[in-house]
Structures are given as C-alpha cells and as structure tokens.
Amino acid sequence: MAQRPVHKLVVEDKRRLTPNMLRIALSGASLGDFPEGCEGGYIKLVLPRAGAVDVAPLDPATADLGDWVRRSYTIRALDREHLRLTLDFVVQGHGGYASDWVGAAKEGDHVLVAGPGPVKAPALDADGFFLASDMAGLPSLSVQLERLPRDARGQAVVEVLEAGDEQALDGPSGVDITWIVNPDVMHSRLPEAVRARPWPSGRVSMWAACEFQSMKQLRSYFFEERKLDRADCYLSSYWKLNATDEQHKLAKRQEAQG
C-alpha cells in the first residue's frame, strides 16, 4: 500500500473497550479525503523503527518513510463530520511496533497513517452467511455484520480471550452469534467452533479473518468440505503466532506460491 497517501493524525481519545481491546480515536483534517463507506477497510499505522520519534514536525508528503514499519488496522468507524477515525486494538501482550505504540499512545500524540485500503465485504446476494473471526478480526466482522441485509440469515462465530471481551454487535436478528471464550492464544478453538455450527441453507457467502494457522484450517473446511464457490468467500489471515507482521507476510507469499 506504499502508494496510498500518508496522513498525520492526532490521538483524540484512548479508552478500554473491553478487557483485551483498546479503542483509539484519531482526528485530522485529511480524514475528509477518506471515501464514503470505507469502514471495514483498513489503514496502516506507519511507525518508526527507531523507537519513539516525535512525528509532529514531520511532513508526511516529503518525509522518507521507506524504512518505517507498517501495520494494518481496520477502520471501525469514520465520522466524516467531526473528522474522527476509530480503531480498535487487541491488547495482545507479545510486543511489536504497533502494540508498543498503542500501549504508550496518549491524547495529543501524532501518528502517521497510510490509506485507506479497500473494503473486503462478503457477497451480499447469497441465501445464507457464515462469518468468523478472532479478536483481531472482530472490528472488521462488526462492520460486516452491520452491512448485511436486515433479513439475512446465518452464523457468526467470534473467538475472544475472556467473557468480558464479548461486544454488543449490530447484526441481523437471523444471524446467530456464537462467542467462544478462549484465553489460550496458542491454541485457537475457532476452527472447531465453526465446524460445530449449523450450516446455512442455499448459496452461502463466507467471510473470515483470524490467525494464519486457523485461517488455513477454515479454508480447508469451507473450500474442500463445504465446497464453497471461491467467488463467495473472503478469507484472510490477519496475524501469525510467533511471527512479526513481516514474517507473516512472507509466510503468506510462500503459501500462495506453493
């Protein structure tokens, strides 16, 4: 996403949404350039490799950001009137450039954000829907649920770290939401929970975002066992256990090649 414009935004608010999720609101005039309906798409935090750098004096249009790291986060909400971008971050406890930034961020801090990237939504003209995510995918799954037709039917399965991480989601009443509480991030129970849910009838549209290994298991379930049409599926690994995002991207590329 190197070509996308880089914006300099200010931390307007930071608060704990649930025990393992922090919500940060960013503001800035250039948010007015974000297109209508970009919620559920992603931005990239652009963070310096060399620890704490005050980005306030930087001009993102001319600064050399070639060596800076980029980390993807979902646009949970965009208030175009008040120029406010809302992002939700898993408190993942494993360190990393983004998680360190989130931990230290305070009101008034500046941060560079590239984007927005495209929205990857499920096909909306299906007979039934199946959505699945872990906590990293939850901000995006929340937006996808909000966008489903109000008479949609199907299943959504979300894995969270503790019961307090369950959120009130605004989905159609015909979509059953199953929360899986699993504090053991090393052993996801998302794939087995997805298999255990009833399968919607008719043509099914599927959307899933989660950890790399879980995603591989879901892919084999949806494609090989449920024989879903690939055009009706969006499956993405958002992170990889014991791997930085750079290592995760490399693993994705190697998988795609072979």
Ligand X SMILES: Cc1cc2nc3c(=O)[nH]c(=O)nc-3n(C[C@H](O)[C@H](O)[C@H](O)COP(=O)(O)OP(=O)(O)OC[C@H]3O[C@@H](n4cnc5c(N)ncnc54)[C@H](O)[C@@H]3O)c2cc1C
Tell me, residue by residue from 33 to 72, as one string, x for binding to ligand X by CB under 6 A and - for no binding: ---------x----------------------------xx
Please report the DSSP string for 132-159 in residue order: EE-TTTHHHHHHHHHHS-TT--EEEEEE
- Which segment (8-16, 28-36, 216-224, 242-250) binds ligand X by CB under 6 A? 242-250
Which of 105, 121, 169, 185 contacts ligand X by CB under 6 A? 185
Position 69, amino acid: V
Pick between residue 3 and residue 62 the one whose CB is nearest to ligand X.
3
238 binds ligand X (CB under 6 A): yes
Identify residues 127-156 at the interface with ligand X (CB under 6 A): 136, 139
- Nearer to ligand X by C-beta: 97 or 129? 97
> Minimum Å distance from CB 159 to ligand X?
11
CA atoms within 13 A on the CB side of 26: 27
Q: Are 194 and 221 in contact (CB under 8 A)?
A: yes
Residue whose beta carbon is closest to ligand X: 96
**202-221: which residues touch ligand X (CB under 6 A)?**
none
Min dist. Cβ of residue 140 to ligand X (A): 6
Distance of CA 170 to the CA centre of its chain: 17
Residue 242 in contact with ligand X, rule: CB under 6 A: yes
Q: How far is the CB of 92 from ligand X (least distance, A)?
A: 4
Rg of the chain taking only CA atoms, in angstroms: 18
Half-sphere exposure of 81 (CA within 13 A, CB side): 0
Nearest to 55 by CA among 6, 120, 112: 112
Sequence letter at residue 78? L
Binder among 97, 129, 207, 222 for ligand X (CB under 6 A): 97
Per-residue contact track with ligand X, 67 to 86, x per CB under 6 A?
----xxxx------------
156-170 core/surface letters (b: 16 or more CB in 10 A; e: else)? bbbbbbeeebebebe
User: Of 43, 72, 113, 100, which Cα lies nearest the Cα of 245?
Assistant: 72
Which positions touch ligand X (CB under 6 A)?
42, 71-74, 88-90, 92, 94-99, 136, 139, 185, 238-245
